[in-house]
């Protein structure tokens, strides 16, 4: 074998031997070295925090560009339990996180006036009872309810009763304990959350640049984005671009013309007024969604204020009447001026196009009825990390990413449509439209199957699982004709005893808990006063 040595010079690395000089192909040449996140806010800083946690800044240069001239949409955020696992992966301390973001606990969503006016139910982050004799509890409940042996379904869910009574405690890790049958999420100030993640990211090497993008450069042959130019004249080059520029999608849409799937024929709301006010009713561990004649109003309690908004359709109500509806249904004096948000429900036809990945509002928008916005951001970042490309940007990676994200958006969409379609309301043109509209085939199949046999379709990849669907079905009056016949292994006396025991066990556990306000004050008292945290 010839003797050789590696010579490194300005032209790269070469193997020199008696047979000549041969260039060494360094595998690092194909690695993504520079990531540019265009846009900040919640989505931008979640992306920055995730990538900076996983990659040493010496291996991956992460830069974020945002402009204070461009307002962010964040008006207060309610979340789902997945955020706890995301925070844990980042190594965040829960108490510090909650204190920094003025967060409160959330056990689920409360719905008022959805199935019909005056009807109230809860979508909890927890189970309804426990399986008995190999049969899901809800089948036993349906049978018992038909025989007059059971009260409403929420009486058999620990988290629902915690919400109803305003109590809170942390879940128990012992699977035999009734306190292991629920989970929780948070409600926090979106601006403070972005600021918290910015501090986290910058401590891990992320470089923030203040500036407004004035021009986007593309490769003349591939169409890939190569650089952006700022109003200051600075030109920033990157390998991978993450678009967090909000609804207009500066890179994914304005530059790459990706296209958008409009879902407003199923989800007709296209406007939202938002305003903050003083909190008077107390720190209930829930987000409340109250239906009006057109659309619905949210109530999100934070430690220092109350977030409110009215999501509605411009086709059924004008903006002033919508604003009046919101302002007439606040529980305290306003702390901010109302802000109007305009949107089209749907998603980009591709959320990863060429070397641009859209995350957050630039990728699509599903109204905040079930608090899924931040979860979809987390999901996008997680999938990007798992399929993190090299400079070849293989179609297979992009296609799989787009398939997964499209599926997730579609399944969340169908769950939201269920809330509007499964109603008995006839008091307005809006609800008549929602009740009678054609729905997606997949949702129709799921609803038909549930009506027939109380079966909830569970896909392997599905965000909202059986308890979520059960809460909306039962809460909005969709009752099945039948149930699993194996439930009849229990005779009527045993069935009634199961209902009594389950409810009693839950009531005892909840009554032993402190109030949510007392637990919150002891666990993580806020460090930001209302006067300092107004937005």
Domain assignments of the chain as residue spans, ordered by start: 1-30, 33-76+189-262+344-411, 104-188+271-342+440-522
Q: Quote the pLDDT of residue 461.
A: 65
- For residues 354 and 468, what is the distance between their CA atoms, to the nearest angstrom? 36
- For residues 494 and 294, what is the distance between their CA atoms, to the nearest angstrom? 45
Dig out the tokens for 113 from the structure: 């006036």
Burial of 457: CB neighbours in 10 Å, binned 0-12, 13-18, 19+:
middle
- For residues 367 and 70, what is the distance between their CA atoms, to the nearest angstrom? 22
Architecture of the domain delimited by 104-188+271-342+440-522:
3-Layer(bba) Sandwich (3.50)
Mean pLDDT of 448-469: 88
Query: Any alpha helices (H) in 328-440, and if so which ranges?
Result: 373-386, 395-421, 429-436
Sheet with strand 20-23: strands edge to edge: 4-9, 12-17, 20-23
Tell me: pLDDT of 299 over 80.
yes
* % pLDDT > 70, the chain: 91
Pick the CATH number of 33-76+189-262+344-411 from 3.30.390.50, 3.50.50.60, 3.20.20.20, 3.30.9.80: 3.50.50.60
> Is 471 within 8 Å of 110 (Cβ atoms)?
no
Sign of CA dihedral 126, 132, 138, 142: negative
Sorting pLDDT into bands at 50, 70 and 90, what band is 6? very low
Q: What pTM does this model have?
A: 0.91
| Listed residue (137, 108, 105, 106) closest to 124, CA to CA | 108
Q: What is the pLDDT of residues 9-57, one digit of tens each?
A: 444 444 444 444 444 444 557 999 999 999 999 999 999 999 999 997 7
* % pLDDT > 90, the chain: 86
Residue 496 backbone class (left: φ over 0; alpha: ψ -120 to 50; beta: rest):
alpha
- For residues 303 and 284, what is the distance between their CA atoms, to the nearest angstrom? 11
Phi and psi at residue 309, to the nearest 5°: -160, 155
Q: What is the pLDDT of residues 225-284, one digit of tens each?
A: 999 999 999 999 999 999 999 999 999 999 999 999 999 999 999 999 999 999 988 789
| Listed residue (13, 517, 42, 40) closest to 303, CA to CA | 517
| Listed residue (283, 301, 286, 281) closest to 160, CA to CA | 286
**Residue 192: CB partners within 8 Å, gap ≥ 6?**
100, 101, 102, 528, 533
- For residues 478 and 443, what is the distance between their CA atoms, to the nearest angstrom? 14
């Amino acid at each position: 074998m010839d003797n050789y040595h590696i010579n490194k010079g300005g032209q790269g690395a070469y193997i020199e031997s008696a047979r000549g000089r041969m260039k060494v192909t360094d595998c690092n040449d194909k690695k993504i070295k520079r990531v540019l996140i265009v846009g900040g806010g919640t989505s931008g800083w979640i992306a920055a925090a995730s990538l900076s946690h996983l990659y040493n800044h010496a291996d991956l240069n992460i830069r974020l560009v945002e402009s204070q001239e461009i307002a962010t949409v964040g008006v207060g955020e309610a979340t789902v339990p997945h955020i706890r696992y995301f925070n844990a992966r980042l190594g965040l301390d829960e108490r510090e996180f909650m204190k920094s973001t003025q967060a409160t606990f959330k056990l689920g969503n409360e719905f008022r006036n959805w199935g019909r006016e005056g009807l109230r139910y809860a979508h909890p982050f927890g189970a309804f009872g426990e399986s008995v004799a190999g049969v899901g509890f809800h089948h036993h409940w349906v049978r018992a309810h038909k025989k007059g042996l059971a009260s409403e379904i929420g009486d058999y869910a620990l988290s629902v009763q915690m919400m109803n009574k305003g109590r809170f405690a942390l879940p128990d890790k012992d699977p035999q304990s009734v306190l292991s049958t629920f989970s929780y999420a948070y409600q926090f100030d979106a601006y403070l959350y972005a600021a918290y993640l910015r501090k986290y990211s910058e401590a891990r090497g992320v470089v923030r640049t203040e500036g407004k993008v004035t021009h986007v450069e593309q490769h003349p042959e591939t169409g890939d984005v190569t650089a952006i130019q700022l109003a200051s004249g600075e030109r920033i080059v990157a390998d991978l671009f993450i678009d967090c520029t909000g609804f207009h999608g500066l890179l994914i849409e304005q530059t790459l013309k990706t296209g958008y799937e409009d879902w407003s024929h199923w989800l007709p709301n296209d406007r939202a007024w938002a305003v903050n006010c003083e909190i008077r009713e107390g720190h209930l561990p829930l987000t409340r969604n109250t239906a009006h004649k057109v659309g619905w109003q949210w109530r999100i309690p934070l430690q220092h204020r109350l977030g409110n908004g009215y999501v509605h359709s411009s086709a059924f109500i004008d903006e002033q009447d919508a604003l009046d509806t919101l302002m007439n249904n606040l529980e305290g004096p306003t702390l901010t001026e109302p802000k109007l948000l305009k949107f089209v429900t749907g998603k980009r036809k591709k959320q990863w196009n060429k070397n641009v990945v859209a995350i957050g509002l630039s990728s699509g928008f599903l109204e905040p009825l079930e608090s899924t916005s931040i979860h979809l951001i987390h999901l996008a970042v997680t999938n990007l990390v798992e399929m993190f490309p090299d400079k070849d940007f293989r179609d297979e990676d992009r296609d799989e990413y787009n398939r997964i994200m499209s599926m997730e958006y579609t399944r969340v969409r169908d769950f939201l449509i269920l809330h509007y379609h499964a109603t008995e309301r006839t008091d307005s043109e809006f609800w008549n439209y929602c009740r009678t509209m054609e729905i997606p085939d997949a949702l129709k199949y799921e609803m038909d199957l549930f009506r027939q046999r109380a079966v909830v379709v569970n896909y392997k990849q599905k965000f909202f699982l059986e308890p979520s669907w059960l809460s909306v079905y039962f809460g909005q009056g969709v009752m099945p004709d039948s149930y699993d016949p194996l439930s009849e292994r229990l005779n009527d006396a045993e069935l009634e005893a199961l209902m009594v025991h389950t409810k009693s066990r839950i009531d005892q556990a909840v009554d032993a808990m402190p109030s949510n306000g007392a637990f919150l004050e002891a666990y993580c008292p806020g460090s930001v006063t209302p006067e300092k945290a107004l937005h």
